[in-house]
A and B are shown apart, each in its own frame.
Chain A
Amino acid sequence: MKIFFKKEYFKRNEFYIFVVLIVLSLILTLINPTFLTFNNIFDLLRNNSFLGILALGELIVLISGGIDVSFTAITTVSQYIMGLIITSYYLDNIFLTFLIPIPIGIILGLINAVIIYLTKVHPVIITIATLNIYYGLLIFFTGGKWMYSFPPSFTNFAYIKVFQISTPEGITGLSIFTLFWFLLAILTWVILRYSPIGRKIYAYGGNAEAARRAGFNILNIHLFIYGYMGLLSGIAGFVHAQLGQIIQPNAIVGQELDVIAAVILGGASISGGSGSVLGTILGVLLFAVIKNGLILMKLPSYWHQVVVGLIIAIAASFTAYQSKMKNKRMVKIDVE
């Protein structure tokens, strides 16, 4: 029992987000009891699985000290090519459909990795450039028409529930996409925590020069990080098309900063070396709850942006203040 009440837990970023999340949920439930119904919670988890999956990839990139803004374009490209293939060849097999976007995502991610490694320019610049290249070429070659009539297997898959419960409002259950999200979260956690490459990513993000001198293969680390981001972007492209049952090439590009904001709110440092899967999930959920709560409170959606902006500013200021205090204490010890 003692292990659950370790003192460190209260110092961690995740703890604060968790408390904010709980308090916010309580307030929302008091204002509108529909918030804390199974129906609403399951919907929330289903609709945010897309952002949640992308956030996991961005987490790994941020831990390595990089940043990727091209993932929205990768998601769009892999999703669009998947849509083109299944509508023009009428591919009525959900498993094969699922497999199409993944290699596309990985290849585009690897291209990012190679360019970043060779030029040694900050990843934000390279990925802004590749965002424009991937997206621009996609729209140029395909014309960017919307797609909405898919084979039945594609349509039916969206309604699969992992388990179902019956509530007064009707039958509801945990969506398969939420399961995707959580399984990928566990995978990411295992990679970061237990695999050699995961530990190398933390080391590289903490101090790139030290990692290089310790003999790490930097190219491999880059290939893994951006390849993994590409893989998750491919899966997220599939999930996004499933959730909306429509493929619009302009629906995803422009959301990159939302995802990055959620990951940073979850405690990942923009300068690399720190961040956790749990924090990232909580960060995504916090954004989701705010959005959902404002809708339930029937406030116009633009207040959502004001609240989110304020939360980012306050959370970032709080973190900066904390590290400043920590540094001050460290300096004191140094002098003594």
Chain B
Amino acid sequence: MLNNKLELFFKKNIEIVILFAILLLILFSITVLTGGKFLKAYSLEAMAFQMPLLGLFALAQLIPMLTGGIDLSIISTANLCGIITALILTKLNTWYAIYIAIFLGLISALLVGIFNGLIISYVGVPPIIATLGSMILVKGVSLAITKGYVISGFPDNFLFIGNGYLLGIPVPFVIFVLFNLIIAIILYKTTLGISIYMVGSNPLATLFSGINNKKVLFKSYLVSSFISGIASLVMISRFNAAQADYGGSFLLLTVLICVLGGVSPSGGFGRVLGVFISVTILQIIGTGFNLLGLSSHLSNALWGIILIFVIALNKLYSRIR
């Protein structure tokens, strides 16, 4: 009885199980290689500060990917939001400046989401081209606002978002876990979430079952841009600066993280837990290599190799089955 249940669990969650095994393997080897230095409090703390940034961007990428699309504009959106927030924070010197700054920053991110959503769902432009256009456009706008300069020096209560502690846990990590839960609830428990999965796996069948595909697509790009905005708040607070081209190298990594986490590039499949584990794997490799004094470029290369390995493993498993 228990065996049957266990077998069923493994069969249903095989991708998560494989991923978790890889996580343990990497955790073990990094711990052995660094001679236990890795499990010390300071390196775990450093991880808890660094991981949320990439993790939030990966969540922003997850939702469009579930619909079978992609959002190339997440980093540009985040930088625009960061710049608007930073400008208001540095120009306005009142106690409520921080709230206005965050509010208007998130509004600017949502505007990009509305733009993406409109041309993808209502005009029918393929997501990869539409968001490629908005990525370049929004980056241009950010550059035009800042003229390429860095805006820095934020008030202490804003720096709390990226550097503070809540009950001894780094605030960015708390935000990251919170958004994992929120996205999980949206995806698994709401009509929008279920519709997102349906649109991703079979748009035509979804349309004929009476769901407004366009609305679903529109909302998914809106959610994506909102999370980009949140990621940007963490980012500029952590760096204590905002600029038009921060985090450019994150863009393609977010796609990789999602795919490694079991998200199908053609849409319809993928879970928040998978993305969470895959971000953790990346961060362990990054921090571990850093402790070992190895180049971050090597960890990028290893990251690519692991991805292809996991894809091959999943392929092999599905063939055996």
Q: Does A110 contact B (CB under 8 A)?
A: no
Interface residues of A in 194-236 (CB under 8 A from B): none
Q: Does A93 contact B (CB under 8 A)?
A: no
The answer to whether A306 and B256 have CB atoms under 8 Å apart is no
Chain B residues positioned under 8 Å from A300 (CB to CB) = 144, 147
The answer to whether B301 and A132 have CB atoms under 8 Å apart is yes
Partner of A139, one of B126, B134, B135, B297: B297
Which one of A18-26, A182-190, A237-245, A314-322 contacts B?
A: A314-322
The answer to whether A320 and B312 have CB atoms under 8 Å apart is no
The answer to whether A270 and B126 have CB atoms under 8 Å apart is yes
Interface residues of B in 281-321 (CB under 8 A from A): 295, 297-305, 307-308, 311-312, 315
The answer to whether B132 and A261 have CB atoms under 8 Å apart is yes
The answer to whether A135 and B140 have CB atoms under 8 Å apart is no
Interface of B is mostly: helix
The answer to whether B72 and A133 have CB atoms under 8 Å apart is no
Q: Does B80 contact A (CB under 8 A)?
A: no
Give the distance to chain A from B255, nearest Cβ to Cβ, in Å: 6
Interface residues of A in 280-336 (CB under 8 A from B): 300, 302-310, 312-313, 316-317, 319-321, 323-324
The answer to whether A306 and B144 have CB atoms under 8 Å apart is yes
Q: Does A131 contact B (CB under 8 A)?
A: yes
Which of A121, A323, A324 has most B Cβ within 10 Å?
A: A121
| Chain B residue at minimal CB-CB distance from A327 | B124
| Chain B residue at minimal CB-CB distance from A269 | B126
A138 to B259, CA, bound (A): 24
Chain A residues positioned under 8 Å from B305 (CB to CB) = 129, 133
A186 to B287, CA, bound (A): 49
A128 to B300, CA, bound (A): 11
- Given contact pairs A128-B255, A316-B125, A316-B129, A308 touches B140 in the complex (Cβ within 8 A): yes
Chain B residues positioned under 8 Å from A165 (CB to CB) = none
Q: Does B248 contact A (CB under 8 A)?
A: yes
Partner of B143, one of A118, A264, A302: A302
Chain A residues positioned under 8 Å from B147 (CB to CB) = 300, 302
| Chain B residue at minimal CB-CB distance from A302 | B143
- Given contact pairs A128-B252, A129-B256, A271-B126, A257 touches B132 in the complex (Cβ within 8 A): yes
Give the interface of A toward B (CB within 8 A): 69, 115, 118-122, 124-126, 128-140, 144, 254, 257, 260-261, 264, 270-271, 300, 302-310, 312-313, 316-317, 319-321, 323-324
Of all A-B residue pairs in the complex, the 9 with the closest CB atoms, nearest first, are A309-B137, A136-B301, A305-B140, A302-B143, A306-B140, A312-B133, A309-B136, A132-B304, A313-B133
Beyond contacts A132-B303, A300-B144: 18 other A-B pairs, Cβ-Cβ < 8 A, are A115-B308, A120-B315, A121-B315, A122-B265, A132-B304, A139-B295, A257-B136, A261-B132, A261-B136, A270-B129, A271-B126, A303-B140, A306-B140, A309-B134, A309-B136, A310-B137, A313-B134, A313-B137
